[in-house]
Amino acid sequence: MDYATENKIILKLNENNYRYTLIFVAMQNNNIEMFELLVKYSIEKGIKLIIDENDIEKMISENKKYSSCKLKSISEINSKFFKLICFCKNKNLIKVIFSRNSYFLKRFKEINENKRKGNESKDYDVLEIENKIKKIELEKEKKEKEKIRKENEIKKIELEEEKKEKEKKEKEKIRKENELMKIELEEDKKEKEKIRKENELMKIELEEDKKEKEKIRKENELMKIELEEDKKEKEKIRKENELMKIELEKQRKIKEEKEYKKLEKKNYIMEKYNNKRDNNETILTSECKQGNIEEVKKLIHYGMNINEKNKDGDTPLLIAFKNGNVELVKYLFSYKLVKEKVIIS
């Protein structure tokens, strides 16, 4: 049993090996110590011993022919065994399966009745074993409690470690969440900064667009003004052209008129020259002698020299004086005072 305990081997106490169970062997050999060891081992390992009265009867019946079987009937089992088995049964350490006409049940009733009445004979060997069993139970209970205490301590440590681990994980989780939150806040900050910059750029673009529009508006206004000025200039040019055209037309007419007058003058002078009878006279002196004041005016107007002399050396004024033509003299005087110095002689 010590070997089995050391090597963590669980022995099969209730198994029937070669016609016998371990308890039956202890009972037929009247070996209380062996029974005590079986009970102790079963208590330590938490194994419930089973005593089947039917199997015991069968084993006694089948093994009578063998000299190794020392029991002839159940009644030959030592009374100490019955007391110990009854004690263990009452302690729920042994399960007893009674036969139909159970001798075990009869003996257990007697033992329990004597205990109740206090008539039980003192069997110190049995009491010692019972005390040992109680001690084993107490020891087991103590060990169980110690085991439970240790398990509780381990559990407490595990719970503490689990708590610490949980706290650690929670802290790590919180740390990671804080880091993520920090990252998110940083990203949010960057995003806001990006949006702010975009808004600034948009604002700048809008401002530039506004300036551009204002520039275009001013350019359009300038263009409009220029177009208006150009229109005015064109209108001015048109008017100037019209005026120029009118002026040209006027100049053309004046020129034509001058040409006509020149031609008329030329024709008139040619006509006068052709009609002149006295070759000693100029055309102007000839008209002065004739007293034709209107013709004189016309000839002077056509550019005839008012101081031109005839072949006799007489000027138109002198001729007017000689003829006593006062009106012609006045005209010649008035003309000469304006144009040039009058030559009388």
Query: pLDDT tens digits for 103-138?
Result: 888 888 888 888 787 765 556 556 666 676 777 777
Which range has the worst mean pLDDT, 12-21, 113-122, 182-191? Answer: 12-21
pLDDT above 50: residue 341: no
Query: pLDDT tens digits for 221-231?
Result: 888 888 888 88
How far is it, in rounded angstroms, from Cα 334 to Cα 317?
11
Mean pLDDT (the chain, rounded): 79
Percent of the chain with pLDDT over 70: 83
Residue among 99, 26, 22, 19 nearest 63 (CA): 19
Please report the DSSP string for 88-153 in residue order: HHHTTSEEEE--TT-HHHHHHHHHHHHHHHT-----HHHHHHHHHHHHHHHHHHHHHHHHHHHHHH
Which range has the worst mean pLDDT, 19-33, 103-117, 124-138, 324-338? Answer: 124-138
CA atoms within 13 A of residue 163's CA, in its CB half-sphere: 6
- For 274, other C-beta atoms within 10 Å of its C-beta total 7
Which range has the worst mean pLDDT, 13-17, 171-175, 239-243? Answer: 13-17
| Domains recognised in the chain with CATH numbers | 1-120 (no CATH), 280-343 (1.25.40.20)
How far is it, in rounded angstroms, from Cα 170 to Cα 176?
9
pLDDT of residue 59: 78
> How distant, in Å, are the alpha carbons of 35, 54, 84, 132 from that of 127?
14, 28, 9, 8
Helices 283-290 and 293-301: crossing angle in degrees, nearest 10, is 160
How far is it, in rounded angstroms, from Cα 202 to Cα 198?
6
pLDDT of residue 96: 83
How far is it, in rounded angstroms, from Cα 191 to Cα 82?
91
Are the C-beta atoms of residues 304 and 283 closer than 8 Å to each other?
Answer: yes
**pTM, 2 dp:** 0.39
Is residue 92 left, alpha or beta, with left meaning phi > 0 and alpha meaning psi from -120 to 50? Answer: left
Are the C-beta atoms of residues 310 and 285 closer than 8 Å to each other?
Answer: yes
pLDDT above 50: residue 326: yes
